[in-house]
Amino acid sequence: MKKLTKVVPLSISFLAVCLWLQSCTKPSQTAAQSEQSQGKLVLTGSSTVAPLAAEIGKRFESEHPGVRVDVQTGGSSRGITDARQGVANVGMVSRALKDEEKDLQAFSIARDGVGIIVHKDNPVQLLSDKQVVDIYTGKINNWKQVKGKDLPITVVNKAEGRSTLELFTNYFKLKNSDIKAQVVIGDNEQGIKTVAGNPNAIGYVSIGTAEHNAAQEVPIKLLPIAGVAANTENVQNSTFPLSRPLNLVTKTQPKGLEKQFIDFARSPQVQDIVKEQNFVPLSK
């Protein structure tokens, strides 16, 4: 009997330990679902994509309690680098991927154009491609040379690493080293503020961002390129010559929270946000 009384408690203890271990190694379905619904996403990169991603992020957070979406700018090059190095969950890139970047996964969430802006009070309504090139290379340095006022032109250029700069130079067949700029800016908002504050300035920015600011009575206007009006309608119908995809990029095929966010950003649930930001929604 003494032997029996010793064995029974040991058996019970062993069973209890097994049950405890199982409870530790196999969490309940509710706990796993809870982990999926909580977390943080870091997005870095394009200043064009950032405002759109931030608004989409707010809506995503409202539908996923416990999730935080942190959006940081720095240019498309930063988006590529951070996604590749794992510094960010998702990179924001306002152009198509280059051949040497095809190791990354890219997901378009909208389209945008790049347009030339001048001050609203500038009487110039149209510039030819050659005149734009001559202005940016310093061959034309006074507005009177293009039927404007007798005032010096302030050339505003984008900083290295900005996809807007790459698109602009590629279209006009320019090298950045050829550009004679008086002001070098970073994001679109900085470019718009510079031109709005200087009646003699010329710059180029996201059409969507420019339209949004013009609607808020910021004193800028978009000039046509190749005779085509710079607006989202012409980006949508593919007649505007300088347009681009707005992409989210990841190091590998996205999973979990990253996939949920990217799918959400490409869904009809956010098309109203895309339009509010003056970008062109993805085709159905």
Across the range 12-17, mean pLDDT stands at: 43
Give the CATH number, domain containing residue 90: 3.40.190.10
In the chain, the percentage of residues whose pLDDT exceeds 90 is 75
Same-domain pairing of 118 and 150? yes
pLDDT score, position 4: 44
pLDDT greater at residue 276 or residue 151: 151
pLDDT score, position 26: 40
Query: What total number of domains does the chain contain?
Result: 2
Per the structure, the complete domain to which residue 266 belongs is given by: 39-112+245-276
| Residue 208 located in a structural domain | yes
Same-domain pairing of 204 and 145? yes
Report the distance separating Cα 46 and Cα 51, nearest Å: 9
Same-domain pairing of 212 and 174? yes
Q: Across all residues in the chain, what is the average pLDDT?
A: 88
Across the range 204-227, mean pLDDT stands at: 94
Q: DSSP assignment of 103-143, as one string?
A: TSEEEEEEEEEEEEEEETT-------HHHHHHHHTTS--BG
pTM of the model: 0.72
Same-domain pairing of 162 and 147? yes
Same-domain pairing of 173 and 226? yes
Same-domain pairing of 106 and 134? no
Distances in whole angstroms, Cα of residue 210 to Cα of each of 191, 200, 232, 269: 10, 17, 10, 24
